[in-house]
């Protein structure tokens, strides 16, 4: 049984995808063309964002967001976030020239908002709220804390495209929202891609410059206002026309993808409700999109070992919190760390197979095996 697969979906849409790619290549536009323009407009529309740009990856989105807010120009700049996240969240902070300050999570795997203010000091510039596994953080509390302490907010929405808090889409609460179109994501392409959302015209204009070497672009048709003239230091982070073409086709089905994920998650919750597994729960005022169905059990490693014997491979997101990784051990001191829930979860979390084309019969078969294993350990 596969944890994730895109091949069945690709077979369904193969001819349409290949025909569309062929037309795009023949159009003579490989970058900043009609497909990108269409995708950006449609992605903004379905998420009810005011402004936004597509970029080369979700990691690039985070780096550009930080630089758009002028974070990292001073190497003492600190960003509050969580250690229970994907590497790119913290890699982006370090790449921008800032430091990560880790706050513990709650039992919902998300940042514990009651502990944020304890870590705010004169060097704190922003909070990166990671909407992990498909569920939104408590954005009311985060926004209130940020306003009170004059901090910026970046939302890491890589795993939560389409998720809502209080009826509002993630990516529309903070100063900037960052999305990923990596193949495993809610809206996944067949390569890399990302998006930055904002409600500020000034931040939008700066982010748009930064994605292409700092060159100014006109709003209409992405044409350049000045020929190859950089107004500020930027980077190369373009979503090309071929990937924009693919994402335009897949965007038509994203609501169906989310619906399928929710149905599979509901089935998991029903089948595993009477076990010793700690199951994910949709929080009040939230709409969970179940990018991952992540559970917890103190004997995780034994469970995974027994599943492997039955040819079932399970993924762990994430086995090592960021502060335990050598690459980022210099970003904070052990004296500052107070992450008991993060440490506990890292030793027991694992994610069950979940993707839109997963068959219900496979879910039933898998949960039967999993229940028998859990019952006996």
pLDDT value at 183 more than 70: yes
Give the pLDDT of residue 1.
78
Cis peptide, bond prior to residue 318, ω within 30 of zero: yes
Q: Vertex 251, ends 249 and 252: CA angle to 5°?
A: 75
Any idea which architecture 254-376 has in CATH?
Answer: Alpha-Beta Complex (3.90)
pLDDT value at 297 more than 80: yes
For the record, the structure tokens of 348 come out as: 């027991």
- Report the relative pairing of strands 176-180 and 152-156 from DSSP bridges: parallel
pLDDT tens, position by position, 103-150 = 999 999 999 999 999 999 999 999 999 999 999 999 999 999 999 999
Q: Vertex 239, ends 236 and 245: CA angle to 5°?
A: 160
Mean per-residue pLDDT over the chain, rounded: 94
* CATH number belonging to the domain at 7-103+110-251, selected among 3.40.640.10, 1.10.10.10, 3.40.50.970, 3.30.450.40: 3.40.640.10
Round to whole Å and give the CA distance between 177 and 198: 6
pLDDT value at 226 more than 80: no
Residue partners of 142: CB distance under 8 A and separation at least 6: 111, 113, 116, 127, 129, 153, 173, 174
In which element (H, E) is residue 23 found? helix 7-26
Round to whole Å and give the CA distance between 321 and 334: 13
pLDDT tens, position by position, 150-182 = 999 999 999 999 999 999 999 999 999 999 999
Give the pLDDT of residue 296.
98
pLDDT tens, position by position, 197-220 = 999 999 999 999 999 999 987 655
Instruction: Compute φ and ψ for 221, nearest 5 degrees.
Output: 60, 20
Give the pLDDT of residue 332.
59
User: What b/e readout covers 213-241, taking b as 16+ CB neighbours within 10 angstroms?
Assistant: bebebeeeebeeeeeeeeeeebbebbbbb
% of the chain beyond a pLDDT of 70: 96
- The answer to whether 159 touches 177, Cβ cutoff 8 Å, is no
Domain boundaries of the chain, sorted by first residue: 7-103+110-251, 254-376
pLDDT tens, position by position, 27-71 = 999 999 999 999 999 999 999 999 999 999 999 999 999 999 999
């Amino acid at each position: 049984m596969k944890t994730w697969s895109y091949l069945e979906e690709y077979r369904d849409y193969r001819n349409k995808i290949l025909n569309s790619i062929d037309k795009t290549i023949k159009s003579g536009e490989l970058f900043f063309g009609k497909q990108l323009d269409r995708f950006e407009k449609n992605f903004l529309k379905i998420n009810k964002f005011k402004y936004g740009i597509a970029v080369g990856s979700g990691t690039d989105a985070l780096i550009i967001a930080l630089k758009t807010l002028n974070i990292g120009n001073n190497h003492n700049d600190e960003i509050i976030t969580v250690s229970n996240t994907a590497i790119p969240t913290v890699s982006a902070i370090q790449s921008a020239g800032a430091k990560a300050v880790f706050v513990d999570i709650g039992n919902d795997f998300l940042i514990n908002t009651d502990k944020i203010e304890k870590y705010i000091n004169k060097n704190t510039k922003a909070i990166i709220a990671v909407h992990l596994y498909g569920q939104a953080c408590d954005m009311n509390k985060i926004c209130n804390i940020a306003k009170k302490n004059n901090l910026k907010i970046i939302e890491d929405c890589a795993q939560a495209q389409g998720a809502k808090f209080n009826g509002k889409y993630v990516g529309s609460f903070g100063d900037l929202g960052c999305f990923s179109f990596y193949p495993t994501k809610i809206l996944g392409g067949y390569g890399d891609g990302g998006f930055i959302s904002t409600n500020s015209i000034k931040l939008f204009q700066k982010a748009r410059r930064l994605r292409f070497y700092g060159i100014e672009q006109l709003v209409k048709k992405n044409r350049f206002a000045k020929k190859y003239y950089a107004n500020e230091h930027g980077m190369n982070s373009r979503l090309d026309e071929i990937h924009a073409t693919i994402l335009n086709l897949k965007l038509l089905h994203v609501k169906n993808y989310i619906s399928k994920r929710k149905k599979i998650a509901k089935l998991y919750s029903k089948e595993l409700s009477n076990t010793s597994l700690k199951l994910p729960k949709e929080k009040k005022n939230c709409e969970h999109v179940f990018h991952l169905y992540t559970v917890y059990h103190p004997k995780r490693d034994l469970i995974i070992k027994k599943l492997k014997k039955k040819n079932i491979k399970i993924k762990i997101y994430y086995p090592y919190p960021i502060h335990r990784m050598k690459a980022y051990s210099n970003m904070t001191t052990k004296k500052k760390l107070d992450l008991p829930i993060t440490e506990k979860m890292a030793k027991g979390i694992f994610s069950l197979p979940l993707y839109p084309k997963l068959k219900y019969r496979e879910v039933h078969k898998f949960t039967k095996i999993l229940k028998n294993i859990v019952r006996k350990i």
